[in-house]
Amino acid sequence: MGGWALEIGKMALYMTFPVAMFHWFNQPEYFEKWVTDTRRQLYPPENPQHRAEIEKCIRNVRERHDQELLKALEEMEQKEKK
């Protein structure tokens, strides 16, 4: 078929390609740029106004939940007294 020269060429390509890609994509400048860009996309800088709104919403949900629990406890106490 192709002979030993073709086999040596294929083996060289099989071994060189992954090593070359590893070298190319693991350059510190490329990696650092990619990491910082990805981090900024996933975790944008925090906005204090948004943070305050989220905390206010969490507080409201907790207060509503606490009120529901108190109401349920009061109903249980009233049932026990009867």
Q: Say whether both 34 and 9 belong to one domain.
A: yes
In this structure, what are the phi and psi dihedrals at residue 26, rounded to the nearest 5 degrees? -110, 25
Size of the chain, expressed as the number of residues it contains: 82
pLDDT of residue 70: 96
DSSP label of 27: -
Rounded Cα distance between 14 and 8, Å, is 10
**pLDDT of amino acid 1:** 64
Number of domains in the chain: 2
> Which residue positions in the chain have pLDDT lower than 50?
none
Instruction: Enumerate residues 6+ apart whose C-beta is below 8 A from 24.
Output: 30
Residue 72 phi, psi dihedral angles, 5° rounding: -65, -40
Residue-number span of the structural domain to which 32 is assigned: 1-45
Q: Please tell me whether residues 66 and 27 are part of one structural domain.
A: no
For residue 77, what pLDDT is reported?
92
